[in-house]
């Protein structure tokens, strides 16, 4: 029986656990069990609210001695490039002529203060960005040690018996690498590269169990994953893996907030795949999500939409102009569980054919 992935809040810690569908064609995960682990989150209080703009130079605490000037600039993907035009060479550090080993070590705290900018650094520890109003750019986050199943980067704050605090101010990670290669597969098989809510742009993400995990997103901040390349995920034991996932994004306190996956390339090919992008209402309701211009690759269903665990996805879920490599399970599926509606917009989605105009192969039928 195929296993699927769900997120489990156990003992105040977010970990990844295997789940089993009741039907292959219409999977309905049931939360499994996992051993609780601890993260290295600080007990600092919530950061003050601020706008979504990046910190200005007059109020930031910088972690560099000046702007990054790569000696041999690479070639970033042109602005607006769809996911099927992304490569390891035109995303992340490589696009700017940089690599992890060429960067000076970051010596700041694992829980940086609000207003911090980390630029052009090699970060060899996991980061807790709960203070918010933090920017990381042209850096390499490559921890050398990590608690099992802990995220490499999180915006979560202190955890109680069944929940973790949510950052109240924006976090941005751009033009960087998030790299789990210095950790064992057993350590990172149930780890996310990024866990929480924030803006991730043009990053190269590889070497951990799952990639971008929007979970514990709170009630106010937008989320954006744009121009990222996620690949090279690893697994071990009973872990199952997502290239990217959404587990909650409620609109009950801010009807205008939105979550966007735009122009990413997301490959989940561990052999124990949930799928490239798995949207499931495990932690709360989900709405106002747009999935546009992405290339979704790997095993499992490459795009899943599930109403489950007593929560529902909403009426503004949109999938537009995506490409799928196809798999034995199929490109996409929906588990409505009584909701009565599916994708509000399913438009111009195709199987990938790089020899065709705009890589449009056969249409990916509406699930």
> Would the pLDDT of 47 be above 50?
no
**C-alpha pair distances (Å), 26 with each of 56, 307, 337:** 48, 11, 10
Apex 334 CA angle, 333 and 335, nearest 5: 130
pLDDT at 18: 30
Beta bridge partner(s), residue 123: 141
> Would the pLDDT of 210 be above 60?
yes
Evaluate whether 225 touches 212 at the Cβ level (below 8 Å): yes
Which pTM value belongs to this model? 0.83
pLDDT band per the 50, 70, 90 thresholds, residue 73 = low
| Residue 160 DSSP class | -
| Residue 24 DSSP class | S
Mean pLDDT computed over every residue of the chain: 84
pLDDT band per the 50, 70, 90 thresholds, residue 38 = very low
- The pair phi, psi for residue 169, each rounded to 5°, is -135, 155
224-233: burial string, b at 16+ Cβ within 10 Å, e else: bbbbbbbbbb
Evaluate whether 248 touches 217 at the Cβ level (below 8 Å): yes
pLDDT tens readout for residues 104-133: 999 999 999 999 999 999 999 999 999 999
Rounded Cα gap, residues 4 and 9, in angstroms: 16
Query: 3-class SS at 359?
Result: helix
């Amino acid at each position: 029986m195929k296993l699927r992935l769900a997120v489990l809040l156990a003992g105040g810690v977010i970990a990844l656990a295997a789940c089993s569908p009741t039907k292959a064609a219409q999977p309905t995960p049931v939360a499994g069990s996992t051993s609780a682990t601890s993260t290295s989150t600080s007990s600092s209080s919530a950061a003050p609210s601020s706008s979504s703009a990046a910190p200005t130079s007059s109020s930031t605490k910088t972690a560099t001695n000046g702007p990054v000037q790569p000696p041999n600039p690479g070639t970033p993907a042109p602005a607006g490039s769809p996911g099927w035009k992304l490569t390891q060479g035109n995303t992340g550090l490589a696009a700017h002529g940089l690599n992890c080993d060429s960067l000076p070590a970051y010596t700041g705290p694992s829980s940086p203060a609000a207003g911090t900018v980390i630029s052009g650094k090699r970060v060899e520890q996991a980061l807790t960005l709960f203070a918010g109003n933090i920017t990381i750019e042209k850096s390499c986050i490559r921890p050398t040690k990590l608690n099992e199943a802990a995220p490499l980067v999180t915006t979560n704050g202190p955890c109680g018996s069944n929940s973790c605090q949510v950052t109240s101010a924006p976090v941005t990670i751009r033009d960087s690498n998030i790299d789990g290669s210095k950790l064992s597969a057993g350590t990172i098989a149930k780890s996310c590269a990024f866990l929480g809510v924030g803006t991730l742009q043009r990053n190269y993400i590889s070497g951990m169990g799952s990639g971008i995990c929007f979970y514990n997103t709170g009630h106010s901040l937008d989320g954006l994953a744009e121009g990222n390349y996620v690949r090279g995920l690893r697994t071990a034991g009973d872990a199952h893996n997502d290239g990217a996932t959404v587990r909650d994004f409620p609109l009950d306190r801010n009807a205008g907030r939105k979550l966007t996956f735009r122009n990413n390339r997301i490959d989940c090919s561990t052999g124990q795949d949930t799928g490239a992008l798995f949207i499931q209402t495990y932690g709360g309701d989900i709405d106002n999500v747009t999935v546009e211009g992405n290339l979704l690759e790997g095993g499992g269903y490459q795009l899943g939409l599930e109403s489950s665990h007593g929560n529902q996805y909403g009426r503004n879920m949109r999938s537009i102009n995506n490409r799928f490599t196809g798999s034995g399970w199929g490109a996409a599926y929906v588990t409505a569980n009584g909701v009565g509606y599916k994708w509000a917009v399913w438009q111009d989605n195709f199987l990938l054919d790089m020899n065709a105009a705009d890589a449009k192969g056969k249409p990916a039928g509406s699930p």
